[in-house]
Structure 1
Amino acid sequence: QVLGTARPSWLQGSGIYDVGSVTSLYVRANQRATINGQLGLEANSTKYIQDSTNYYLARGHLTARSDNFYTAQQNATFYMQNIAPQWQTFNGWNWNQIEIDLRDYASENGVDLQVWTGVYGVTTLPHEDSGEPTELYLYYVNETRKAIPVPQVYWKVAYNPLTQRGIALIGVNNPYNSTFSKLCFDVSSRLSWLHCERENQILGFCYACSITTLRYAVNFIPAMDVRGLLL
């Protein structure tokens, strides 16, 4: 891997977003006002989007910069089509650990893994007045004009095409949610190489499933012939 290159600026591209500047949506004061408006809170309330903590929405990479070898490949991960809103409590800890664990597995076992990353669902927080779960969007004007949903979960599918073994890794993107339903049967206890803090709500609950069982919930995962778990 080429190391030591400068971290590039984020690139929005053209013809993708009809929301003005995506960068401005991620500014903490702006995202606070947007999220609070959806939840019936005062615009400057720090109940969820806080100052001087990691309780805010970061630009969460789908394909990680560190997963790529050449500088041009690394820089390409900074196009905003490759990101989704991710709580920094999760971004900097368990999701980062999942990325590290997959790279370490490939390196230590001398294998080339095929990896797909995506998101699923829209995370919710309770409305201040009604208590009803309210889906969160980084861009919100009204119910008919909203964009850039905050994902409920992030997932990675890793597959060894030589052995036809694979694994699905899932992380919950909501530090305020103490309960959640797993999308598939959890086999994370069988993975000695997975080191995320699986039961840590703030850092992001994480678990692992067979690719087949996750596909029952996330039906747009690419088709592949899977013959076992990536142990």
Structure 2
Amino acid sequence: MSYESHAVLVALVGVILGFGSADSAHEANSNITTVTCLRGDKVQLYKHSHKFEEVQCRHSVRGNVRATDKECGRESGRIYQIGYPVSRTEWITLISTCYVPAEGRTLYTRHTLYGEEIKYASKAKYRPAWSPSGQYENITASIAYQQVYQKGTLSRILGSSILANNFINNNSFFAKGHLSPHADFILASAQFSTYFYINAAPQWQKINGANWKSIESTVRNLGKFYGTLEIITGTHGILALFDKQNNPHDIYLGQRNTLPVPKYLWKIVLNKATQEAIVFIILNNPFIEAVNDEVFCENICEQVGFDKTSWKDPSSGLVFCCTIAEFQKVVKTAPKLDVSGVLVQQSLLWEPSLLNVV
């Protein structure tokens, strides 16, 4: 990490957390504290020099949710912000979500990935309980995600407890799939602040722990090379499963057609320095066999350096890559982006002759 980037990171930490140290606690009664890098591992706090590891948070910090009046998702959603109230008038946003509260559906989230600093991310093993903050009272996600409830829900929708048992069991169930993931954030407090239901979508566990996890890791590796990236992650469509008569039924985990299970999840990676971007899409159906009709754009994964054999396996989540232009023709609820080109896997930058993307 360069000295300059280190200074930026520590300043951000100070603003969000409000640091206080043992010999300056009497000055640390504000939610806003400035920490300035000096040299090496030394920082300046309240005119005193300290080792960085000596600077401690006086209290643990958890994010909160606030609703805004800003429309999104072709006016079907509203922007909800996950972040930190630092004063009566000041709010710092960590994640913006485009959320449809009456349906319990998150259309997309946006956050910044500080790729050069991600190797310094907290390795805290603690995982907080998921928070319903921001959800309507009629959305009971904490119950809907329980496996026994999922089995009953699918039994009702498909009209068969046998089919429900085939789909929902110890090895197959819907997980709370992070949209803006825990591991994209550096500070433990920021990582813990990703655990809101409005930052999740129902995703098959066998996909969440396989190719979706692989996409998230790929994105962080891009960040390590390119630096700061804007990440937009969302959902599209509703998953349909078939009953015994081979009739399709849309799947909702909540009552009254709430908490829809998305057919696809997607993740846009945007390098704002160059306005280059790519979008990764995953099919949220590990049971599908005929997948050709499910790929709604020209798959450019191999062309831009993301040739992963596992991504071709539907049981782990079929993955394909689109240009932003092709993607936006299909996913109308995604934010409109004006991009200059396609963001490629870093190894292709050294082999430009291999690159063949318009």
Query: Which residue pairs with 2:251 in the alignment?
Result: 136
Q: Which moved more, 1:86-95 or 1:130-139?
A: 130-139
Asked whether the equivalents of residues 165 and 227 of structure 1 are also in contact (C-alpha less than 8 Å), the reply is yes
Once the two structures are superposed, what CA deviation does each residue of 1:166-199 show, in whole Å capped at 9, x if it has no partner? 0010000011111232122210112324646222
Asked whether the equivalents of residues 97 and 195 of structure 1 are also in contact (C-alpha less than 8 Å), the reply is no
Query: Which residue pairs with 1:218 in the alignment?
Result: 331
In the alignment, which of 223, 235, 242 is matched to residue 119 of structure 1?
235
1:224 CA drift (Å): 2.4
The equivalences for 1:76-155 within 5 A come to 76-107=193-224, 109-128=225-244, 130-140=245-255, 145-155=256-266
Query: Which residue pairs with 2:143 in the alignment?
Result: 24
The 3-state SS of whatever aligns with 2:176 is strand
1:208 CA drift (Å): 0.3
Asked whether the equivalents of residues 98 and 194 of structure 1 are also in contact (C-alpha less than 8 Å), the reply is no
Once the two structures are superposed, what CA deviation does each residue of 1:145-165 show, in whole Å capped at 9, x if it has no partner? 220011000000111111111
Asked whether the equivalents of residues 98 and 196 of structure 1 are also in contact (C-alpha less than 8 Å), the reply is no
Which structure dedicates a bigger proportion of its chain to helix? 2
The equivalences for 1:153-172 within 5 A come to 153-172=264-283
Q: 1:193 to 1:58 in 2, by over 3 A?
A: same
Once the two structures are superposed, what CA deviation does each residue of 1:110-152 show, in whole Å capped at 9, x if it has no partner? 4211110000000111122x31111101013xxxx22001100
1:5 CA drift (Å): 4.8
Asked whether the equivalents of residues 123 and 173 of structure 1 are also in contact (C-alpha less than 8 Å), the reply is yes
Normalised TM-score (structure 2): 0.59
Asked whether the equivalents of residues 158 and 164 of structure 2 are also in contact (C-alpha less than 8 Å), the reply is no
Q: 1:26 to 1:118 in 2, by over 3 A?
A: same
The 3-state SS of whatever aligns with 1:102 is helix
Whole-angstrom distance in 2 between the partners of 1:66 and 1:155 = 17
Q: 1:205 to 1:193 in 2, by over 3 A?
A: closer
Query: Which residue pairs with 1:3 in the alignment?
Result: 123
Runs of 4+ in 1 over 3 A off after TM superposition: 193-196
Provide the aligned C-alpha RMSD in A.
1.7
Identity among equivalent positions (%) equals 27
Structure 1, unaligned runs of 5 or more = none
Whole-angstrom distance in 2 between the partners of 1:224 and 1:126 = 36
Q: Does 1:204 align with 2:317?
A: yes
Q: 1:17 to 1:155 in 2, by over 3 A?
A: farther
1:69 CA drift (Å): 1.5
Normalised TM-score (structure 1): 0.90
In the alignment, which of 284, 297, 305 is matched to residue 173 of structure 1?
284
Q: Pick the structure with greater CA Rg.
A: 2
